[in-house]
Every structure is written in structure tokens, then in C-alpha cells.
Structure 1
């Protein structure tokens, strides 16, 4: 016999049903937590947990000192991940936003000679503690944050070159593929591992979402023609705003 769902889940399911049925319209404030708790015959802590779940799902929003409201649905756009975007002589992100009719830009901060943590060292096939360039990015569409990234590059590859810092020098802002090409390194493969996650407080603050909201976390690593990792990054994309689609080329029959 299946276990009964916890009380907060039953309350969340019923609140979700009532919102879908239009009992409360978009922008309308729900009854107080105490009133709803009494109506459901549960404690206020159970009601709070149910509402927090619906806030994470994007159905409700809490307003400090005011109450809980039905949230205005956000447009969810498609972000296409494609190897073709790496061949356009431009930032893949900027190309993606341009196809959405939006202006893509970003803010970044780089640090050189950062010792590689163990997990990053494993992904880059270097020794833990080897010096790397670490760059954090906040990507914007029409000035609004849409994506975060933390990138690592081994200084053994770029350390004595004009492109050691991704956002400075002659290839600033051109992306990993173009910068590596300027050094005679051909990036042949990008491996991406997407995973679901929940926004940390720092991520939520930067992306303008709530703590614990669903995000897609992508672990991406670029490899050159010798199979050597040249860059690895952790990308965070808010699920409420973007769905991720992968464009996979299909080889035609050999002639």
C-alpha cells in the first residue's frame, strides 16, 4: 500500500488546484496563513511549507510585510545548445540571444593563478593546485540576468599569451573557441552534462529568483583535437525562464 503524502503536499496540491481553477486571479493576495491553516486543519508551519513549494514552482510569490500572491506567469523561452554556434566567430551566448530578438551581454570578473580545486583539476586533467584563470560571469538579456557561469582555464595553456584573461586583450569577449584558435589550438569537442538543481541564496540574488527555485546546472568542458581539456565551466540557468534544447547534427549517408 502506497504511503500517504505528507500533509504539506496535500495542502500544496489543493492550493495548486484552486489556483488553476481561478479561485484567485493573477496578482490577487491569498487569505492569511493563519486563515488557510485553520481551513485545512493544519498548523501554520505546514501551510508555510506548502506555500513555499508553490513559490519554488513559480505559482506564488511572497511579498515582505504584505502576504502571498498569485504570481504573474513568466514567459519561458528556449535556449538552444548547438555546436554550430561555436563556429560563428562570436560568443555563443550573444548569438543565442540575437535569435531571440534580445541583446546579449555579460559582466565578468577574472582572477589569475587560482589553485585548481580537486574537482576542477580532475576535469582539466591537471594536478590539484595547478594555477588556473577563474572567471565568473553574469549573462544578461536586454540587461536582465539570465545565466551564471564559473569558468576555469589552465594557465599552462594561456599563461604567457595575450589571451590569458578571457575578457581582456585582443580576443576579449570572443569565447573560448575563438581565443584558443588564436593560439593555434583547435577546439574539437564540447561535452555538456546537464543536471537539475536548486538555486542557492547567492545564485538567487544574482538571477532575481527565489531561494530554492529550480535551475539547470550544466557542467561543460571543451577539448582540443588531442583530447586535452582546455576549459571547463559550471553554468546555471533558471528553469522558470528557460528550457534547454540540444541541437544534434545527423550525418547524411556517405556518397
Structure 2
């Protein structure tokens, strides 16, 4: 019985995970898969597309499909949000990428809070927020789009309303304003991207995204930031360290 595309992809994935196929290696092409598994060319093509959509491989037109060379980003929530990190003047992103090449495109502006954001920040109708929109590119690969919303009455005319917030980032500046975030909640879901999102993150067709919404709270439980993040699912490993 011919193997299915999913079974072929599982076999190839196992070879990648075992180290038999290493980053940069060319995967077996459609003719080889057709011969090895006794399947139609379309099935072989679908198997390769599965690995591309999972972020394990990249297709190079006219050349073939190769094991992806980009090392996934390990996002450890506990480390990136630690007070000790921002007290040392380190950004949240330094926990994710360490010494890897990072380029950030930042846009900052004031606007009326969207209804859902206003609700999460406990703002009244028509209240203004400072919006910080960022696109993160690691080693020439777009990996995340993030948009933060902060009460304008709190952060207007501060470094938070500037592209460069300074050492320790926005949370360090909030601490200086007497509104230090000490607790966080995150909601996460996986979904398929819109065409606009797919283009912005340069995603291969069929690649899902991770949508994370984080709210930051002060010691008196005041919400001071909502951050909506969109991650290329193929570029990330999410780690949470929990204790009972």
C-alpha cells in the first residue's frame, strides 16, 4: 500500500531529528520519494510541503527542498519577564536571541484605544493609548510582529513614547513612573495567518502563527500594558517553567 504524504513527512522528520539530515542538507526530491515509497508525484510534493509548513525545511525554486538552517528561537517566558533582567538594563528580547543578529522596525504613535484594548486596560470610552508597533527580524528572517498599548495619560512625553525606550525597555521606564509591572497574564492560540500577516512574516503557504496577548499588571493589579504578539510558529519553541 502506498505511503501517505503524512507518513513520508514523518519519516523525513525523524531523519532530521536524529541528525541523519542536518541543516543545509538537500531532502530527497520528488522522483526519489516516488521511487522509494511507491507514491504519485503529487503525494511526494505534499510530503515536502508539510515539512516546509512546519518550519523544518525550505523550498528553493529550481534547486530543491533543504533542511532549514535557521535555529528556532527558544522563548522562555520566566526568563524574559524577570525583574533582574530589566534591572540590569537588558531587554526582553535579549533573553530570546542572545548574540544573534536582531533588527527591529519600531513605530510609535498615539491613538484612541480599540474597544478590546480599552477593556483590558480599564480605560474609559475614547481614552488614548500610546501604541508601540514592532517587527522583529532575526538573521534576516521576520519572526514576530508585536503591538503594545499603554495608557497615554501614564506614558505620554516619556521615553516609552519614543522608538528607543532605553536600557531595560518599557518595563524599566514604567518602574521609574511608579507603575512597575510585577504580574503578567498571557493568552495563546494557534491559527492560520491572514494574507497580510503571511506577507509581513514572509511565511510559506500553510504555515501557522502563534498569537499571544500579554497583559502586565502593577502590584495593586492595575493593567499598564497590553502586548499583542504574532509569531511565526516555525521559528519558535515556547518554554514555561512552572512550580507547584
Distance 1:212 1:21, change over 3 A: closer
Once the two structures are superposed, what CA deviation does each residue of 1:10-29 show, in whole Å capped at 9, x if it has no partner?
3332354367569x993256
Q: State the match for 1:253 in structure 2.
A: none
Deviation of residue 181 (structure 1)? 1.8
Q: CA RMSD in A?
A: 3.7
TM-score (norm 2): 0.73
Q: CA shift at 1:51, angstroms?
A: 4.8
Distance 2:69 2:140 in 1: 20
Residue in 2 that maps onto 1:152: 149
Q: Are the equivalent residues in 2 in contact too, given 1:223–1:229 (CA < 8 A)?
A: yes
Q: Distance in 2 between matches of 1:61 and 1:197?
A: 21
TM-score, normalised via structure 1 length: 0.71
Q: In structure 1, list runs of 5 or more residues that go unmatched.
A: 1-6, 251-255
Is 2:209 the partner of 1:215?
A: yes
Alignment of 1:39-58 (within 5 A): 40=39, 51-58=48-55
Q: Deviations over 1:87-116 (max 9, x none)?
A: 433311124433xx3354522011212x22
**CA 157–54 in structure 1, closer or farther in 2 if over 3 Å, else same:** same
Alpha-carbon distance between aligned partners in 2 of 1:55 and 1:162, rounded to the nearest angstrom: 43
What SS is found at the alignment partner of 2:5? helix
1:1-255 maps to which residues of 2 (within 5 A)? Answer: 10-17=4-11, 20=14, 26-28=25-27, 30-31=29-30, 40=39, 51-64=48-61, 66=62, 69-72=65-68, 74-82=70-78, 83-84=81-82, 85-98=85-98, 101-113=99-111, 115-141=112-138, 144-159=141-156, 161-163=157-159, 165-168=161-164, 171-172=165-166, 174-248=168-242
Greater relative contact order (Cα 8 A, min sep 6): structure 1 or 2? 2
Instruction: Measure, in 2, the Cα distance between the counterparts of 1:111 and 1:120.
Output: 15
**Is the alpha carbon distance of 1:40 and 1:103 closer, same or farther for their aligned partners in structure 2, counting shifts above 3 Å?**
closer
- Aligned length in residues: 232
CA 1:176 to 1:19, structure 2 compared with 1: closer, same or farther past 3 Å?
closer
Query: Larger helix proportion, structure 1 or 2?
Result: 2
3-state SS of 1:225 partner: coil
In 2: Cα distance, 1:236 partner to 1:248 partner: 23
Distance 1:126 1:47 in 2: 54
**Which deviates more from structure 2 when the two are superposed, residues 223-232 or residues 126-135?**
126-135
Distance change in 2, residues 1:102/1:212 (3 Å): same
**Ranges in structure 2 where 5+ consecutive residues have no aligned partner:** none
Query: Which structure has the larger Rg over C-alpha atoms?
Result: 1
Partners of 2:68 and 2:102 in 1: how far apart? 24
SS of equivalent to 2:8: helix
User: Could you list the per-position Cα deviations for residues 172-229 of structure 1 after superposition, in whole angstroms to 9, with x for gaps in the alignment?
Assistant: 4642211112222222212122322334444444444324323332211111122111
1:59 Cα deviation after fit: 4.6
Q: Does the C-alpha gap of structure 1 residues 62 and 102 become closer, same or farther in structure 2, counting only changes over 3 Å?
A: closer
Query: CA 1:11–1:94 in structure 2 vs 1: closer, same or farther (change >3 Å)?
Result: closer
